[in-house]
């Protein structure tokens, strides 16, 4: 049955109430159908070549040829009804997404203003990364890569960004013994870092406080690193009998030059936020008192940029060296698997828990 005049008038009013701009293509369709429904086939002279907007409107109307008024009215009503239901369902999805994401014990994940925020949430343990946390982060990244956000942000809850690998990861030994533990840990580490190498959207670290170990090395795979002036950056691998991970054996020398990378990765020099900025690891440092406000204002503005352009640009930048990064990750993980079995590494972990050593 065709749409009656009342349905058509109601659809015309609903267009004015749409919450989301339907885009130029749809607006042209609506214009053309409206003109056809109210005036019949296009009856005005073609606008000049440089009168771009009126020419596009005229073309759209003229393209409807001799479509009967009745059919144009019906098509208009159908088009508006489709727009309303998609805008209703997208606002429903948005309000769901705005809520805290369920199913994560160690992270708080929220989506707002086209930004998905992944917050490490073990403040009492300085956001040390347990095996459960590595797994949840991988799941969160997988979900963020598919959601409708444009930017993904990592941050920490509490005074630390993260104190790196939770050293209890080395203390709960499975029935297969320490070798099995080291093997499983190397697989988990490799999978974890692979997720960062392959992550398709702009990835931002909001480093709210000190960062240690893997929480620092992985920053070399982020696109922006904003730091509070309270943050520090520490990779004490030689103190722990360990070696670099997170592709930092490649990204750090590339970012800061070999000499400075060696100071951090071999000699465990702890950097202030200002030093990390000077060496290119950090994009910008903000005073702690205004850190959150300044950073989120900046990120909200960035999140409105073209999603496709940002994602394609990231792929162009990353694709040059993706294969290389995966190979480096595999090699670093393999070497660490051996290091974790060393006396030096085991003693360092025991010293921490017997309170003999702290960084
Ligand atoms: C799948 C495996 C992948 C492995 C990838 C490899 C990664 C390598 C690394 O990440 S190396 C870095 C490892 N991290 C550390 O060695 C840090 C150890 N922690 C410290 O030195 C200190 O805790 C500190 C300097 C970070 C903070 O000192 P502070 O005095 O301010 O606070 P506390 O020591 O009292 O810490 C509060 C509680 O948090 C526990 N905790 C902190 N960090 C860790 C950690 N990394 N692992 C386990 N637990 C940690 C700490 O024990 C306190 O707990 P408690 O209150 O129960 O005593």
Q: Which residues contact 86 (CB under 8 A, 6 or more apart)?
A: none
What is the model's pLDDT at position 96? Answer: 46
How far apart (Å, rounded) are the C-alpha atoms in residues 51 and 55? 6
How far apart (Å, rounded) are the C-alpha atoms in residues 218 and 214? 6
Q: Is 125 in the pocket of ligand 1 (CB under 6 A)?
A: yes
Neighbours of 151 (CB within 10 A): 24
| Residues 166 and 133 sit within 8 Å (Cβ to Cβ) | yes
Ligand 1 atom at minimum distance from 159 CA? 31
Q: What is the pLDDT of residues 108-138, one digit of tens each?
A: 999 999 999 999 999 999 999 999 999 999 9
Q: Whose CA is nearest to atom 38 of ligand 1?
A: 125
Local structure of 138: helix, strand or coil: helix
Q: What is the pLDDT of residues 21-49, one digit of tens each?
A: 788 888 899 999 999 999 999 999 999 87
Q: List helix spans (H) across 99-213.
A: 131-146, 177-198
Q: Whose CA is nearest to atom 35 of ligand 1?
A: 125
Q: Is 279 in the pocket of ligand 1 (CB under 6 A)?
A: no
Establish whether this prediction's ipTM goes over 0.85.
Answer: yes
What is the model's pLDDT at position 146? Answer: 94
Q: Which residues contact 115 (CB under 8 A, 6 or more apart)?
A: 149, 150, 151, 152, 153, 299, 300, 303
Q: Global pTM?
A: 0.77
Ligand 1 atom at minimum distance from 234 CA? 12
Q: What is the pLDDT of residues 284-293, one digit of tens each?
A: 999 999 999 9
Q: Which residues contact 122 (CB under 8 A, 6 or more apart)?
A: 106, 128, 130, 133, 157
Q: What is the pLDDT of residues 157-201, one digit of tens each?
A: 999 999 999 999 988 888 889 999 999 999 999 999 999 999 999
Instruction: Extract the tokens encoding 209.
Output: 């406080």
Instruction: Extract the tokens encoding 77.
Output: 């009503």
Bridge partners for 165 per DSSP: 129
Q: Is 358 in the pocket of ligand 1 (CB under 6 A)?
A: yes
Average pLDDT over residues 242-256: 98
């Amino acid at each position: 049955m065709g749409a009656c005049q009342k349905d058509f008038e109601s659809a015309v009013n609903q267009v004015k109430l749409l919450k989301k701009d339907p885009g130029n293509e749809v607006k042209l369709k609506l214009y053309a159908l409206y003109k056809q429904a109210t005036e019949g086939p296009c009856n005005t002279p073609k606008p000049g070549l440089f009168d771009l907007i009126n020419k596009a409107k005229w073309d759209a109307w003229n393209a409807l040829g001799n479509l009967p008024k009745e059919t144009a009215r019906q098509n208009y009503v159908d088009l508006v009804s489709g727009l309303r239901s998609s805008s209703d369902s997208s606002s429903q999805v948005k309000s769901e997404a705005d809520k805290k994401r369920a199913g994560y014990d160690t992270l708080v994940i929220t989506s707002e203003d086209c930004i998905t925020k992944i917050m490490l949430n073990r403040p009492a343990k300085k956001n040390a990364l347990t095996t459960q946390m590595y797994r949840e982060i991988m799941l969160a990244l997988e979900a963020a890569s598919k959601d409708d956000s444009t930017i993904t942000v990592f941050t920490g809850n509490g005074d630390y960004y993260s104190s790196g690998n939770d050293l209890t990861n080395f203390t709960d030994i499975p029935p297969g013994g320490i070798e099995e533990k080291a093997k499983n840990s190397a697989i988990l580490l490799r999978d974890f870092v692979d997720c960062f190498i392959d992550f398709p959207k702009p990835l931002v670290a909001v480093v709210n406080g000190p960062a240690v170990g893997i929480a620092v090395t992985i920053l070399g795979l982020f696109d922006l690193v904003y730091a509070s002036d309270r943050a520090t950056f520490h990779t004490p691998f030689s103190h722990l009998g360990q070696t670099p991970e997170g592709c930092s054996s490649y990204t750090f020398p590339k970012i800061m030059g070999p000499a400075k990378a060696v100071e951090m990765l071999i000699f465990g020099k702890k950097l202030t936020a200002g030093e990390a900025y000077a060496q290119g690891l950090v994009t910008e440092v903000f005073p702690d008192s205004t850190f959150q406000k300044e950073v989120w204002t900046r990120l909200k503005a960035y999140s409105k940029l073209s999603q496709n352009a940002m994602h394609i640009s990231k792929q162009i930048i990353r694709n040059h060296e993706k294969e290389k990064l995966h190979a480096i990750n595999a090699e670093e993980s393999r070497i660490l698997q051996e290091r974790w079995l060393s006396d030096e590494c085991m003693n360092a972990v025991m010293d921490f828990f017997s309170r003999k050593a702290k960084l």
